[in-house]
Amino acid sequence: MYEVEVKVAADRSGVADRLDELGATQTGDVVQVDTYYDAPHRDFAETDEALRVRRETSDDDTEARITYKGPLVEAESKTREEYETGVDDGETADTIVEKVGFSPAATVEKDRRFYRYDGYTITLDAVEDVGEFVEVETETDEDGVEAAREGAYEVLRELGLNPDKQIRTSYLGMLLEDA
């Protein structure tokens, strides 16, 4: 499975107003705390991979997930292979990852609001120590990447945002650049 994502810097409140005008469906608000790990056997910064444990809290309920993100597969968007699964306990997942030799690299904290519009998930993000962003994303198979990307560009245009100003750097990368 491929996640096709296009991200731009934007004022969340202005985009939220536009999403309301377009009739988008708000699907939730969460706070995510992502712990990213360095691998002992290769440099994820060089290979453009990521391993993270995410804790996601909404309405006083916290869930945890572990995710592997492969390297970007195209130059036009943030499309990559992604594998994710739930875990019962984020603290235990952190301990397991560390016991097999991975070390924590950084933690990214995000306040996120999700919408559904025209088959895409639109996420309005406030990322601690980084800024405000809008992500438009969907999942597809390898054959659907180009069409999914072009659709994401069109959604951005409908929101009054310029897809040519997309940011391909991850929130982790931006946080580490500013450190």
Give the residue numbers marked as catalytic: 36
Q: What CA–CA distance (Å, rounded) separates 120 from 110? A: 20
User: 3-state class of 48 per DSSP?
Assistant: coil
Question: How many residues belong to the chain?
Answer: 179
C-alpha 89: how far from chain center: 21
What are the residues facing 171 on neighbouring strands?
Answer: none
Paired tokens of 106 = 């950084």
What b-and-e string marks burial along 22-34, b requiring 16 or more CB atoms within 10 Å of the CB? eebeeeeebebbb
- The burial class, CB within 10 Å (0-12 / 13-18 / 19+), for 76 is middle
